[in-house]
Structure 1
Amino acid sequence: MASRIKYLWLLVFQVILVILFCVFVRYDGDNKVNLRGYEDTHVMIYVGFGFLMTFLMKYCYGAVGINWLLAALVAQWSIITQGLFHMKDMIIPLNKKVILEADVMSATVLITFGALLGRASVNQLLFIAIVEALIGSLNLYIIEKVIEGSDVGGSMGIHTYGAFFGLAVSAAWVCCRKKRDQPQDDDGHPLEKPSYMTDVTSMIGSVFLFIYWPSFNAALTATDADYQRAVVNTYLSLAACSVVTFALSAFLRHGKFEMEHIQNSTLAGGVGVGTVCNMHITPGGAIIIGMGAAFVSVFGFAKLKASIYNNCPCLFLYLTISALTISLCEYIWR
């Protein structure tokens, strides 16, 4: 009987969402109907992130399905949570931009999902997603309206927030883990192993993310000129990041490519340039950002992963250094 009602609360939560939508959400006419980037972002969320998460052979099947469930839930919930900060006469206007922003918030939760895959249960992931989307909406409001920061590609409010949220939850688990947990080697947990097939399917997700990332970063730009700069800068950053990632991976692996680097570090350029992608950073500046992102990501995977996994203080040191680096970069570009 317990297994039958395991996810009954999820149905109750969906009913609550229906009530909230019926009371507060209304169509916004033809406002933002020509907004670009929504369809591409949708592919990134459900196909790109979904297949990227298949990198663990034990959790490969569930990863795509749970990714789908989390994205579908958060997309609805974040329309409400983000709409609370933009209500007009107690009404949340619903248009294409609002749906796009809901998908973007889903990306935040899915980034956290990548840090918790294989450790958290589905119920735990759903609870984390609901809490994270609520706090994430407040975080975006502070960035956009309070401090008036520029973050069109979501590098601060989406990627960094999602990654830090996942690392914070992981750190809590590391601090509280019991001695009877399964032994670990230098490569981490015994279950943290890929297979040939999971590496291939994860690469499918990486390719989709690589292709659609320029549209993701440019989707919320204000003008055609900003949109074009965002697309160009993002693509150049991704391209340079990919080249450096392959080169560094081969260097660290004695001439062989490490699939973990190729699946993840090749995308770091899109994250790194997101905050400033619509600015006049010059094409050379976009390439420099992509190269720098590749160095940080590849060496992070290669040199810090095992020590962070087995040493909680090292995790907090890494978080601190990352936060200071991000703040410094934002200050320089301003």
Structure 2
Amino acid sequence: MIYVGFGFLMTFLMKYCYGAVGVNWLLAALVAQWSIITQGLFHMKDMIIPLNKKVILEADIMSATVLITFGALLGRASVNQLLFIAIVEALIGSLNLYLIERVIEGSDVGGSMAIHAYGAFFGIAVSGAWVCCRKKKDQPQDDGGHPLEKPSYMTDVTSMIGSAFLFIYWPSFNAALTRTDSDYQRAVVNTYLSLAACSVATFALSAFLRHGKFEMEHIQNSTLAGGVGVGTVCNMHITPGGAIIIGTGAAFVSVFGFAKLKPFLIRKCGLLDTCGVMHLHGFPGVYSGLVSIIAAAVATEEMYGAAGLKSVFEALEPWSRK
């Protein structure tokens, strides 16, 4: 997902294919090492940072945050600027993750809030700062640009390679940090069903908005929004029907964001979001957080069992929250 999925998903622009794959690789490799330290600072014992497979996995997942931000700035930030952003973002992201997991004690096993929403809105914040610092005459007045800053038939095809990789591996991404076998199975099943429902809804909505034709931007991105939308609740008892409903809702959030909101932000605000990360990761991440409120509110010991409820909602131990 990290090196092939994110990398090839961003190759849709002719001018930035090399940078999309190459810089993606560089940033991911850097953050995978740096995050071992930044996240380890919050889990040290006797001034020693532990290192095992779980720590490496968590560091690799943190690199996804930086790559989401990279998607918002693709083609607009230099390599040196991106390296600086990655170092700062991973440090703040580790603090954010610590606050969610240890202070607030929220349940976010798929990282929709801590990884996807954070990475998207961090990228939008950097993009907004960049817009404010530009001269007015340099700000884009529409979504046009240099011919090489547009997609081609071949680059759209290579971008679909990234979409396919992300679609295939998203269930394992959401389920990677689950604590029990039953949680793992629920996370895989719920994520797969949400992705499948989201894909069908995305094709239908794209054809509806384009008068019977599919928009490649929707197919490359919005088909994956179901994985983000279900991420926070994937290990909860949401039922297969619930997963399908969540995936369908994520498609609505993402497709209408790409179709209606993204052009408005470009033309009226001059806000850059090259890959539309706000509509694939940002808003679906917020949507997942809102869904989790409902899923947590209806959770009972009869539904999960005493051990199951504790594994999903750790803040209930020692039953300090009701």
TM-score where L is the length of structure 1: 0.82
Structure 2 distance, partners of 1:154, 1:309, is 28
Query: Partner of 1:181 in structure 2?
Result: 138
**Contact 1:238/1:290 (CA < 8 Å) preserved in 2?**
yes
**Cα distance in 2 for residues equivalent to 1:200 and 1:241:** 20
Q: Runs of 5+ in structure 2 lacking a partner?
A: 273-277, 297-322
Q: What residue is the counterpart of 2:307 in the other structure?
A: none
Task: Render the CA deviation track for 1:60-110: whole Å, top value 9, x for unaligned.
Answer: 111100000000000000000000001111111111000100110000000
Q: Deviations over 1:176-204 (max 9, x none)?
A: 3213327543x354464111111011000
CA distance in 1, matches of 2:6, 2:141: 27
Contact 2:230 2:246 in 1 (8 A): yes
Pairing 1:302-317 to 2, within 5 Å after superposition? 302-312=259-269
Answer yes or no: is 1:282 the counterpart of 2:244: no
* Residue 96 (structure 1) aligned with residue 53 (structure 2): yes
Report if the CA contact (8 A) 2:8-2:158 is conserved: yes
Provide the C-alpha distance between the structure 2 equivalents of 1:76 and 1:299, rounded to a whole number of angstroms: 37
Structure 2: distance between partners of 1:55 and 1:215? 25
CA distance in 1, matches of 2:101, 2:139: 44
Write the distance in 1 (CA, Å) between the matches of 2:83 and 2:13: 20
Contact in 2 for aligned 1:182/1:189 (Cα 8 Å):
no
Contact kept? 1:56, 1:195, Cα under 8 Å: yes
What are the ranges of 5 or more consecutive residues in structure 1 without an aligned counterpart? 1-43
In structure 1, distance between residues paired with 2:127 and 2:145: 13
Aligned residues: 287
Matched, 1:244 2:201: yes
Take 1:168 and 1:80, find their aligned partners in 2: how far apart are those partners? 25
Match of 2:74 in 1: 117
Distance 2:164 2:9 in 1: 9
Structure number with greater CO (CA < 8 Å, separation at least 6) is 2
Partner amino acid for 2:295? W
2:293 paired with 1:331: yes
TM-score (norm 2): 0.85
Calculate percent identity across the aligned residue pairs. Answer: 87
- Measure the CA separation in 1 of the matches of 2:271 and 2:88: 26
d(CA) in 2 for partners of 1:91 and 1:179?
A: 50
Aligned counterparts of 2:126 and 2:253: Cα–Cα separation in 1? 22
Alpha-carbon spacing, 1:80–1:183, altered in 2? closer, same or farther (3 Å):
closer
Matched, 1:73 2:73: no
Aligned-residue RMSD, C-alpha: 2.0
Q: Which residue of 1 aligns with 2:124?
A: 167
Aligned residues of 1:79 and 1:99 also touching (Cα < 8 A): yes
Aligned partner of 1:105: which letter? M
Paired AA for residue 80 in structure 2: N
- Residue 233 of structure 2 contacts residue 291 of structure 2 at CA under 8 Å; is this kept in 1? no
Q: Is the 8 A contact 1:188 1:306 kept in 2?
A: no
